Amino acid sequence: MRAGTTLGGRYVLRSLLAVGGMGEVWRGDDSDLDREVAVKVLKEAAVGNATFLKRFRNEAKNAAGLSHLNIAQVFDYGDFDGTAYLIMELVEGEPLSTILERERTLAEDRLVGILRQTCDGLAVAHDAGIMHRDVKPGNLLVFGDDDVKITDFGVSRGTDQTTLTATGMVMGTAQYLAPELALGKAATPASDLYALGIIAYESVAGRRPFTAPTAVDIAIAQVNDDVPPLPRSVSPALAHVIYHLLEKNPRRRPHSARELEQTLAMVAHDGLQAPPESPEVPRRVRSETRQTERVMPPSIAPREYRPRPDVVRKRPGENEVRQ
């Protein structure tokens, strides 16, 4: 692909905007409707990969069925000379990941505004039975007056779709991966909300809560490790929300994106900044699902060693109790 290439007889590539794991994003023109668009083209190396191609088609199907001001809209899908492409709404902004790289942290009121808009978009997707499964700063486009659009439904899954991975494989980005996904469980709205909790933590602390040399080590930490205490400068109200989102047990997190948005609205209304003399906000005690031994995600652990985040382990000899 190069500048000047025309796809589908109407979409003209103008300039390369970004390069991702399986595709390139170009600024382009829709000559039929005389408007600028974003063109996502599957990389040549990924064209022959059936899983990548199915993910690409899923993105087209899932995102095209969603219409909301906080979701980047997909207009068209096609194939050019054996290469699949998506035609999307062009968003003149930058990903939240770029903002965090430049500014390190965000003011709490600014962060809450970004989170609330993301919740609004996720609520529409979840209502349609679609879980994003890869919510991260790189997939939140910020533009204008800190307006937000969610993009890249490439690993999303609708409730009527079969999984793209073999048993035991995990999809998503390890740094934002919910514990239940690391353990091979099905994605739910709570999984996307956990990722929002990681984003919120990173945005106020200047670092992610779980880091390690490899993706597998990070996934293990998501399952096993306590959330490190937030800085004392974080307001108690926002800290409470973040710890709530980062519960290991998905049933202990907010029940929906709409519920989370309402909670954030109340937090913003009641005030965010903690007084300088306020004591450090205690970290939330790990859920009763705490394990005495470290556990591993399913890609490297036999099935019998995969604990259930939604099961409370009792003392030896006692039965397991579901939450």
User: What pLDDT digit, counting tens, does each position of 58-102 carry?
Assistant: 777 777 778 899 999 989 988 888 788 989 999 999 999 999 999
Listed by start position, the domains of the chain span: 6-88, 93-317
- In degrees, rounded to 5, the angle at the alpha carbon of residue 227 between the alpha carbons of residues 319 and 313 is 5
Sheet containing 140-143, strands listed edge to edge, beginning at the edge strand earlier in sequence: 93-95, 140-143, 147-150
The hierarchical CATH code for the domain 93-317 is: 1.10.510.10
Residue 310 pLDDT level (bands cut at 50, 70, 90): low
Per-residue pLDDT, 293: 54
Integer angstrom CA distances of residue 40 from 177, 186, 199: 25, 28, 25
pLDDT at 291 over 90: no
Q: Give yes or no on whether 6-88 and 93-317 have one common fold.
A: no
- Type of residue found at 140: L
pLDDT tens by residue, 216-275: 999 999 999 999 999 999 999 999 999 999 999 999 999 999 999 999 999 988 766 554
The CB density around residue 293, as the number of other CB atoms within 10 Å, is 7
> Is 120 a residue of the active site?
no
How far apart, in whole angstroms, are the C-alpha atoms of residue 6 and residue 32? 12
The mean pLDDT value of the chain amounts to 81
How far apart, in whole angstroms, are the C-alpha atoms of residue 83 and residue 87? 13
How far apart, in whole angstroms, are the C-alpha atoms of residue 174 and residue 188? 17
Residue 290 pLDDT level (bands cut at 50, 70, 90): very low
Question: Closest by alpha carbon to 88, among 65, 106, 64?
Answer: 64
Q: Choose the catalytic residue: 134, 146, 270, 310.
A: 134
Question: Closest by alpha carbon to 101, among 172, 211, 207?
Answer: 207
pLDDT at 33 over 90: yes
Quote the CATH superfamily of domain 6-88: Phosphorylase Kinase; domain 1 (3.30.200.20)
Rounded to a whole number, what is the distance in angstroms from the first to the last CA of the chain? 52
Burial 101-124 (b: 16+ CB within 10 A, else e): eeeebbebeebbbbbbbbbbbbbb
